[in-house]
Amino acid sequence: MSRREFLLGKYVGILMAALLMFGFLGWYFEGALLYKNFLDRVDPTPQPEWISTAISYAPAGPMADFLQGIGFWTDHMLGTLPGLVLAFSQVMVLVAIAVTLATRVPMVVNLSTVLVVFVLSHLTPVLVAVGKQAKARDPGPVAQLLGFVSNLFDVLLPDLEAFRISPTLLSDNPLQPREFILYLASVTFYGVLYSVIVLLLGLILFEDRDLA
C-alpha cells in the first residue's frame, strides 16, 4: 500500500463514519420535527402548492393520499437537507485537518489543535471586524497588530462561518431559491477544495514517515 492510498483510505474511512453518523442523526432530527408538527396540529402547516398540483392529477383515494404523504416527506426533507449538507461540509474540513495532523502529532495534541482551529475559525470574522474598527478609530501599533493577526487567521484558517445556514436565511433580505442553491453549491465546493489542499499538505508531511 502506497502512502497516498494509506492517507486517503484513512480520510475516507473517517468521513464514511461521519456520513453514517449524519445519516442517523438526520433521520432522528427528521422524526423529531415530524413529531413536533404532530404536536402543533392545532395550527397545522399549510400544504405546499406544488403538492396540491401534483396530487390533482392522481385519482382520489389511497393513491392520492400516498402521493400526498410522499410530497409532505419530500418537502420536509428538502427543508432540513441544506443544514445537514453544510454541517457535513464543515465536518469534512475538520476531518481533513485532523487526518493531516495525525501524520505528525499524537492524538491529544491533534484533538486540541482541531478544537482551537474550530473556535478561532468561528471567531475570525469578529476579529477582522474589530480590527477594522480599531484601525478606523486609533491607527496605532495595537490596532495594526490586531488587524495583522486577524487577517492572518482569515487567510490560514478555514471559513467555518460560511457553513452556518442561519445568516443566509435569517437576514433582512433572504436569498431566493436559485441563489440559495448556488450558495449551497459554492460553499460545499469550498469545503471540498479546502479538504483536498489540506490532504495534499498531509501527504507531503507523510512522505518520510515509516508505515511499519
For 36-91, the pLDDT digits (tens) are 766 766 556 666 776 777 677 667 767 777 777 777 777 777 777 888 888 888 88
pLDDT at 174: 59
Per-residue model confidence (pLDDT) at position 179: 79
pLDDT of residue 189: 92
Compute the radius of gyration of the chain from its Cα atoms: 23
Question: What is the structure's pLDDT at 33?
Answer: 74
Query: Would you state the pLDDT for residue 165?
Result: 73
pLDDT number for residue 115: 92
What pLDDT does 173 receive? Answer: 63
Q: Which residues of the chain have pLDDT under 70?
A: 1-7, 37-38, 40-47, 50, 54, 57-58, 61, 166-175, 208-212
User: What pLDDT does 29 receive?
Assistant: 77
